Amino acid sequence: MIKFAFDVAHTGLHLALAPNTGGRYGQIIFIDDEYETRILVISSTEIRICDFVKYLENNKYYLAKDDTHYLTTVHDNDIIKWESSEKWNR
């Protein structure tokens, strides 16, 4: 797997290039090392990009209000807060 996004602490998004049995090439997995948690975010990068565009159009992402100039998201869509999210805590 290739880690392509991380929070500079214990979590990151990984792109699977050699998935386990039942997995798909290109799936994206969220890993929280501190809680030893793995969550399948999406089964393909193509689907994730389409979802990202849809979320942008529906205002689920917005520019952070500080000087960092990065996108942030509404609480329930934020996988970093997976343990308190109805969407991600499965």
Series of mean pLDDT values for 10-residue runs along the chain (90 residues): 88 90 90 92 85 84 74 69 69
Query: Domain for residue 58, yes or no?
Result: yes
Query: Domain for residue 19, yes or no?
Result: yes
Structural domain boundaries, residue 8: 2-84
CB 29 within 8 A of CB 13: yes
Domain count, the chain: 1
CB 87 within 8 A of CB 76: yes
Beta bridge partners of 56: none
Query: Domain for residue 90, yes or no?
Result: no
The pTM of this model reads 0.64
pLDDT computed for residue 36 by the predictor: 93
Other C-beta atoms within 10 Å of 41: how many?
16
Q: What is the DSSP letter of 81?
A: G
Kindly write down the DSSP assignment for every residue of 52-76, as one continuous string. Answer: HHHHHHTTSEEE-SSTT--EEE-GG
Query: Domain for residue 89, yes or no?
Result: no
CB 49 within 8 A of CB 32: no
CB 38 within 8 A of CB 30: yes
Query: Domain for residue 48, yes or no?
Result: yes
